[in-house]
Amino acid sequence: MRLQQKQKIQALFFDFDGVLFDLEPLHFKAWELTLEKLGYRDPSFSLENVVGISDKEIADYFINFFSLSMKSENLQEEKELNYDYLISSVQFPTKELHDILKKYRQSFKLLIVSSSTTRAIKKILDRCNLADYFFTIIGADKVQNHKPHPEPYHMALEACSISADQAVAIEDSVAGLRSAQDVGIRAIWFKRYQHTPSSEYQNSFPSISHLSELEFYIQ
């Protein structure tokens, strides 16, 4: 189904790690390495536990679960070091992504709204020469409350000076879909990973498996 437009769409809001790039598995591995170096392992921890979740929330969980005597900020820093190590050897296939973003930027403001830090996002954008496509970045360090709280998308709307019905959000997680929905932004579910939102969410949002399909919903 096409999105029913009340206003002309002015901006596209992209999640980063699971939409623009396939980075959630690397975040998961970085957390596993961080725990291993501390001598811990959580058999119940899976990829699904990191999708759409901020590092702060995950760090706070592990500190409580393992009764760690360290600050959340320090645990996040350790994870960030492991993540940086993992992505240093990754070759990102960006030719197609360049073409898609170049096309969309001709008609819309493009923003990143993510639970990752601005630093981590910029590092990859700069490495892939993608930074110039984006109007601004709303990273985890820019807000007090992370997805599924609506604050990230409230901030994105304010940055563009537009109303909710003038934007579309592309999200791969329930937390992201809820965050956009609660602001009144039309959200599209990006189906990258095997696990899926509940049937309630599957039936509530149009879905795509490739960013080129987004064009059908924003024309």
| Per-residue pLDDT tens listing for the chain (219 residues) | 455 545 799 999 999 998 999 888 899 999 999 999 999 999 889 888 887 788 999 999 999 999 999 999 999 999 999 999 999 988 887 899 999 999 999 999 999 999 999 999 999 999 999 999 999 999 999 999 999 999 999 999 999 999 999 999 999 988 999 999 999 999 999 987 645 555 556 668 899 999 999 999 887
CA 76/CA 140 separation, integer angstroms: 12
3-state secondary structure of 100: helix
What is the model's pLDDT at position 7?
74
What is the model's pLDDT at position 6?
56
What crossing angle do the helices spanning 118-127 and 72-87 adopt, rounded to 10°? 10
DSSP-derived letter for residue 20 is I
Angle (CA) 89-71-41 rounded to 5° is 60
What is the model's pLDDT at position 89?
87
What is the model's pLDDT at position 196?
53
The structure's pTM equals 0.86
As a whole-number percent, the residues of the chain with pLDDT over 70 amount to 92
* Contact in structure between 79 and 59 (CB atoms under 8 Å): yes
What is the model's pLDDT at position 52?
76
- Kindly state the helix (H) or strand (E) to which residue 170 belongs, with its residue range: strand 167-171
What is the model's pLDDT at position 193?
62
Q: How distant, in Å, are the alpha carbons of 17, 34, 74, 83 from that of 89?
A: 17, 18, 24, 11
DSSP-derived letter for residue 62 is H
* Contact in structure between 129 and 97 (CB atoms under 8 Å): no
